[in-house]
Amino acid sequence: DAGVTQSPTHLIKTRGQQVTLRCSPKSGHDTVSWYQQALGQGPQFIFQYYEEEERQRGNFPDRFSGHQFPNYSSELNVNALLLGDSALYLCASSSSPGRSGGYTFGSGTRLTVV
Amino acid sequence: QKEVEQNSGPLSVPEGAIASLNCTYSDRGSQSFFWYRQYSGKSPELIMFIYSNGDKEDGRFTAQLNKASQYVSLLIRDSQPSDSATYLCAVWWGSNYKLTFGKGTLLTVNP
């Protein structure tokens, strides 16, 4: 049973560039949430996708956008990268918002903006 | 604003001791509570969840929930060096569909 798969694992980008991160949820899960985790901080909620729509959004600028596909996989796009966007980006999947046991996280994408 | 607070530590305990990690949250409307373990450079891993007041035990781990006081704790008995990690407390408020995390507590278990 495949868990949550994220790609790429590491990425280095230059300020002002755009980046796309990808996530495939765990089998049986239909909800994907994206988190940003800066060094020494807890994960910060970016947004959540369910039924191909953004259901909830955290306190992140419009430079952060996403998409969910019919197979439940998801992308996170960040435009006009800033140095402060350097972080671990985590994708988490669940079977609808869950009291069933929490979210399952992927291994993350480490983004470095130089 | 729904917030989750944790003591960032570091919390240092000797091997074999009980490690106690605490978490408070801001809104009594919360429904579900989770503890994740995160090793350095890795992603969070779910270790416990609790919904009802009281204690829930799973092996060496015990989660304790007190909704009236708005706190949840995690006890790790017979701590091992392999337990050294950051422990993240997370709270789910069904009204806003998202899991909100604290900043995490760094635990170090000394051999």
Question: For the segment A75-96, what is each residue's pLDDT rounded down to a tens digit?
Answer: 999 999 999 999 999 999 988 6
Which residues on A lie below 8 Å from B34 (Cβ)? 102
Interface test with B, best of A23, A45, A57 (most B CBs within 10 A): A45
- Asked if the model's pLDDT at residue B101 lies above 90, the reply is yes
Interface test with B, best of A35, A53, A100, A110 (most B CBs within 10 A): A35
Nearest to B98 among A56, A99, A102 (CB): A56
Contacts of A61 by beta carbon, 8 Å cutoff, 6+ apart: none
* Record: contact B99-A42, CB cut-off 8 A: no
What average pLDDT score do residues A69-80 get?
A: 97
Q: Give kind and range of the element (H or E) at residue B9.
A: none
| Confidence band of A98 (pLDDT split at 50, 70, 90) | low
pLDDT of residue B23: 96
Alpha-carbon gap: B109 to the closest alpha carbon of chain A (Å): 19
CB B66 within 8 A of CB B53: yes
Output DSSP code: residue B97.
Answer: T
- Asked if the model's pLDDT at residue A100 lies above 70, the reply is no
Contacts for B51-58 with beta carbons within 8 Å, 24 or more apart?
B51/A99
Least confident of A24-38, A96-110, B8-22, B93-107: A96-110
Q: Which residue of B has its CA nearest to A59?
A: B1
Nearest to A43 among B31, B44, B97 (CB): B44
pLDDT of residue B27: 78
* Record: contact A103-B99, CB cut-off 8 A: yes
